[in-house]
Structure 1
Amino acid sequence: MKKITASLFSSLDGVVEAPDQWHFPYFNDEMGASVDARIGAADTILFGRKTYDSFAGAWPEREAAGGEDAYFAKKLGDARKIVLSRSKLDFHWRNSEQLEGDFTKAVTALKNEGDGTIGLSGSVSVVRQLLAEGLLDELHLLVHPIAVRKGLRLFDEADTPIPLRLAESATFSTGVLDLLYVPAEAPAAAGYEEARTHLPEEEQS
């Protein structure tokens, strides 16, 4: 079964919108390696329409230019790219197609196609749907030490909490936190009476 991994740049206050406006000062070799290990290793990439348009408008030209990022651009071009949209789409970037049918059934079918990784970069609306449907296997957050203070946040308001477990973590020299979360069981009910048992007690003389 394929694994679905979503990777997002996040500010300290949870903003994931328009990272091109605030995250580049923190991009270094450590972050480049982390991004390549997640999205660069995916054989299939799932996109929302806006994110796909942004990628398709930049990466094919970067691959053709043959610059320092051409290697990564070729990885993106060679990967199978599946776009979620309500409108019928025409594609000019190779290996691109549209997700057909019911979202949950279609994504479940993708997961069942065999081994490998389905990656996401950005595409917040798609990540939200995957989390809500229990289809996301890994949530990779690169948390930057900056409060952007405006913009879309990953988690919207809802009645149902989403429990997660921290599976891996690292701190880059820039102060960026590289965090990998996986689904978890909901914690047992508890209140202050349970919590206070873990407070330090006065030492006995």
Structure 2
Amino acid sequence: MRKITAGLFISLDGVVEAPDQWHFPYFNDEMGAAVDATLGAADTLLFGRKTYDSFAGAWPEREAAGGEDADFAKTLGDARKIVVSNQELEFTWRNSEQLEGDLVDAVTALKNEPGGNIALSGSVSVVRQLLAAGLLDELHLLVHPIAVRKGMRLFDEGETPIPLKLISSETFRTGVLNLVYAPAQSTGSATYDDAKIHLPQSEQ
């Protein structure tokens, strides 16, 4: 079964909206390698429409320009790109198509197809739905040491908690934390009485 990973730039207060307005001062070679490990390692990219429009409006031109980012732009262009939208879409970026049918059913089928990793960048509404459905295998968060204080957060209000387990962590020179999470079993219930035994005990 194919692995689905999602990578997001996120602030210390949980904001994921408009990272182009606050994250570039923290972008260095370490972050570039982390982004490549998510997007560059996938042969299929899954997007929400807004994120796709942002990518399609920039990366084809960057590939054509032949600059320092042209190789990465070509990698994105060569990948299969699937866009989640309720509107009928037309595409100019090569290898792009629209997801057909119900998101959960279609992504479940996609995971069972032959192929390599499937990756998401941004596309918060899609990430939320895949997390809730148990279809996301890894959540890669690049946590920036800044409180943006406005904008959409990764996790919205909801009734059901989403337990996660940390599977790797790395601190970049900029202070950005590269945290990789996977779904976890419920932690169960506990009270203060269960927890207090772990407090430091005075010697008698």
**Same fold by TM-score greater than 0.5:** yes
**Structure 1: which 4+ aligned runs deviate by more than 4 Å?**
none
Aligned positions of 1:22-101 closer than 5 A: 22-101=22-101
Find the aligned partners of 2:103 and 2:37 in 1 and give their Cα distance: 26
TM value normalised by structure 1: 0.98
Find the aligned partners of 1:113 and 1:39 in 2 and give their Cα distance: 19
Find the aligned partners of 1:135 and 1:124 in 2 and give their Cα distance: 14
Q: State the partner residue of 2:148.
A: 148
Q: State the partner residue of 2:118.
A: 118
How much is the aligned-residue C-alpha RMSD, in angstroms? 0.6
> What amino acid does structure 2 have at the position aligned with 1:187?
T
> What amino acid does structure 2 have at the position aligned with 1:78?
D
Task: Give SS of 2:77's match.
Answer: helix
Q: State the partner residue of 2:193.
A: 193
> What amino acid does structure 2 have at the position aligned with 1:176?
V
> What amino acid does structure 1 have at the position aligned with 2:2?
K
Q: 1:159-198, CA deviations, whole angstroms, 9 ceiling, x for partnerless residues?
A: 0000000000000000000000000000021010000010
Find the aligned partners of 1:144 and 1:101 in 2 and give their Cα distance: 36
> What amino acid does structure 2 have at the position aligned with 1:81?
K
How far the C-alpha of 1:60 sits from its partner, in A, is: 0.1
How far the C-alpha of 1:39 sits from its partner, in A, is: 1.0
Question: Does the Cα contact within 8 Å between 2:59 and 2:73 map onto a contact in 1?
Answer: yes
Task: Give SS of 1:43's match.
Answer: strand
Find the aligned partners of 1:39 and 1:17 in 2 and give their Cα distance: 19
TM value normalised by structure 2: 0.99
> What amino acid does structure 1 have at the position aligned with 2:91?
F
Q: State the partner residue of 2:108.
A: 108
Question: Does the Cα contact within 8 Å between 2:43 and 2:115 map onto a contact in 1?
Answer: no
Aligned positions of 1:128-143 closer than 5 A: 128-143=128-143
Gaps of 5+ in 2: none
Find the aligned partners of 1:116 and 1:192 in 2 and give their Cα distance: 45
How far the C-alpha of 1:116 sits from its partner, in A, is: 1.3
Q: 1:68-114, CA deviations, whole angstroms, 9 ceiling, x for partnerless residues?
A: 00010000000000000001111100000000011111000000002
> What amino acid does structure 2 have at the position aligned with 1:37?
A
Task: Give SS of 1:39's match.
Answer: helix
Q: State the partner residue of 1:157.
A: 157
Gaps of 5+ in 1: none
Task: Give SS of 1:150's match.
Answer: coil
Q: State the partner residue of 1:16.
A: 16
Identity %: 77
> What amino acid does structure 1 have at the position aligned with 2:92?
H
> What amino acid does structure 1 have at the position aligned with 2:194?
E
Find the aligned partners of 1:54 and 1:175 in 2 and give their Cα distance: 27
| Equivalent residues, number | 204
Find the aligned partners of 1:172 and 1:194 in 2 and give their Cα distance: 36
